[in-house]
Chains A and B, each alone.
Chain A
Amino acid sequence: SQTIHQWPATLVQPVGSPLSLECTVEGTSNPNLYWYRQAAGRGLQLLFYSVGIGQISSEVPQNLSASRPQDRQFILSSKKLLLSDSGFYLCAWSSGQVPTQPQHFGDGTRLSIL
């Protein structure tokens, strides 16, 4: 069966520090991968998605970036964090070949910027 791992679960970082959140998927190949941000009590904001290695689409201009160095690995990064980057970050995957399939989410990372 397929599983998705996202880490760390919680992160506290000072303003101006770098960021690296990692997400890996097991049990499937060539998944679509997604990064979302969620403010407290709010909906999901799509940040990036990827349909293949090295292919990244950005939905929201910001100081964050994403990379997909391997088929089942998706990384969210920043060189210098801002206070506004605080939030809950969710990684997700879906099948690119079977559109009936839903998105499957990781457990999320709670990011606090001090």
Chain B
Amino acid sequence: QVQLVQSGSELKKPGASVKVSCKASGYTFTSYAMNWVRQAPGQGLEWMGWINTNSGDPTYAQGFTGRFVFSFDTSVSTAYLQISSLMPEDTAVYYCARVGGVGDTPIFKDFEYWGQGTLVTVSS
């Protein structure tokens, strides 16, 4: 079965960096792009962008350029989100998410699979 397992909670000081991981299993990693979604405390969902796990090309949504970097390592079927120059406003739960499909064939573009979320807290 498809699983996305994310790394644990992080507590960081302003100005530091953080790298969140999302380990995929149950499918061929390069068959599906990986998306990232942010949810600030008590707020709604914000799509951050996605990375093509074949070409490596990332696409960043408005508001998520500059300090946010998507990457992956196919050898361990893991996608990464790195955030630099952290600010208190970056405090949020970050989710990785994958679209729906059958086996290694994407069928629809809604997010059928989600990681459990990683809480990043930025505080001095």
Answer yes or no: do A and B interact: no
